[in-house]
Structure 1
Amino acid sequence: MWLNGHEIVERMAARAGLEVTALANGFAATTDPRLLQDLADQVQAGTLRVFFERWMSRLPLPLHDADRDRGYWWQLSMRQIEISRTLVIDDPRRVRTLFEQLLRDNLDLGRPEHLEVIFARRITRRTPGVFATRLLNRADQVTLNLSFLHSRIKIYLKEDRALRIETVVNNPADLGCPRGLDHLAELLAKGRAANARLMDAVRAGQGAGVLASPVIERTARPTLTEEGRRAPALRFGDPRVQALAGCLAVMLFAVTGITNKSLRAWMTGLLGTAYSMNQAGYDLARLRLNGLIEKIPHANTYRLTGDGQVFAVVYSRVHDRVLHPLMATRHDPLAAPPEVRHALKVIERHIDSTVATAHLGRVA
């Protein structure tokens, strides 16, 4: 049995007198989004059973009414379920640029530690399967696929008008659900949660390009909390702050949470020097006061906030992808692209000329 959920909802909308604008197997617009969502939520296991029984009454079958009276009948299980989220872009002219930037900045999402967060499933060395990012480029569509066991999650453009996130579950056990149709609602909830977590990761990455973000403005200088407590600054470029940003960017913390012990382990590795329990306690406190982490009730564990995601991505990405390559060109000529190296040489030549004219001598 094969069913297209969008087709079912579109027919339900027609019966309800609701106007919708179709977008392939999706919706581009509607006069009442809330009602459309309510109709979509009505597509549950019972809907599929009614469809199945209606056709079973018409098709020739090896089982007859006498067999059914004795308890022998068909039992439905889920072989493949696709749970999608369609984000329609207001300005289609910019959607292609947005999508290309999204692909470029998220090619590492297929790593096991990232998929562990997106699918909320534990991945160990014994977990079977290949975890990778695959970029499929066809003439009409480019798709970013993230493989997870027998299933996958993908991002692509829908008719150059909408961003489509789609979790394809080929084995419900991949998400911790039994195959029986009775568990459809549970599987749908987990698929939608995976779509949402993927969008959170993508949104943090895309939002990182705006350095004028209120999060960055707040954390870059000392501020006061709503309770009047002083929140110490987390200054960009400070080695310890950069290491903290690198730690928060470790997506494993989104699953396990952040503790004093786990922070010490990562900070010691990033700093290359000893990092004490007191230092970890102080850094956790200033991260919390700046709203970048929050304490989990009844536990000495912290979770990353949305502002914390932005802080981690901005500080890490700008430092590692922009400043470090530019500053390293003097010692490593290949650290930056040829165009950037050429521009830096021109700038350096003009600075040397200006200094020589002013008789200041060269500054090391």
Structure 2
Amino acid sequence: MQKKIRHVLLHIGGNEHGGLRSFTEELYNQLVEENIKVTFLADRNEGYAKYVLSQGRKIENRNTKRVNVFWFFPKINALVHLIFVFIQGKLHAKKIAEILKRFNPDLIIGCGLYSAGAIGPAVAISNHSLVVGQHTVPNENDIFNLRRTITCYFFNKYCNKIVGVSKQAIEVYVPSLTIDYDVVYNCVEKIKESNVKRDQFRRTYNVKGDSLVIGTACRITQARGIDIFVSAAIQFLKKNKSKKIVFVIAGDAPYKKDKIFLDRILKEIESSGYGCFVKYIGFVDMSHFINGIDIYCHTLSKGVESFGLSIFQSAFLNKPLILCKQGGYNELLPLIIGLRYNKESASELSLCLEKVSDVKWISEQRENLKNIDLSIVSDKKKWINKWIGV
């Protein structure tokens, strides 16, 4: 008989990408909804942990405790960060094991692959069960195999199970795994349809009349392919000067190299002469953004999107989609939904833009989206039961 889960310890490891933040927040909220006690084991300078540690009594009043562990070495690149995380996990193993024994949770969930090395050695001492969520698909480059080898070593040595947010997120590790693995698709918070938010969005960003709005949203990095989106938009506008279409980019650029990249993109937009039709609007509330756009375009230039939260948020509001051919979302979205293009091809994306500007296609897509069953990513009860049952 399976042991009833009454107390879960969440380890916050990994960087501060949006998918990890939303996963951790949703997991935490649903555990509390199920009246399960939660303890956060937070590495003080790590992404989402900053948010957790800033909540103070708000969190402690929700049957939750916060525990600081240690500082990680600053992130230089993924591989170096990974190695330092694992080294410090080994060095601090006894200290963390004492914390684990003191709180004695029924289950430890590592929110990100770094958890395997960061608290894995401590879990081996305290003899608890560790399940790690795998969210990202690493870029295939010169250090890819080394990074995968190191990660799988810690997965196999310290974890009871690895859970991917999609098959795509975990399949690169599967050949080297000697432990159980599973797929539990992310849970997506549905955004409510609001004509008020739609109108506010269009007024705020000066979208005139019945113009069609095609939007993309992400953290601005070179890997996200915003440059491809802008190039495709400009190509399209040059060939279709009479069509009323506005392209909108939402997202922040938190790091210096990202700001430099964004500045280059903004200069390209300005020099093209299409600044009135290709707009960067910065970080915005997603409910306003998705209500405000007519079509959502997913962009990527490196790696693979493991899930795609904003894609599903758009789908729930019946917003037609333009998607990369590569991505975990394709496991749930059949080919009749949206258009697909190769992620590095601005010319292919531009051809997609030609098709989506057709009113008939938009209407057909909205009907297709109404008929697709996405309960697998919207049923919070089933989702949390899968997680505490892994």
Q: TM-score, normalised by structure 2?
A: 0.24
Q: TM-score, normalised by structure 1?
A: 0.25
Compare relative contact order (CA 8 Å, sep 6+) and give the higher one, 1 or 2: 2
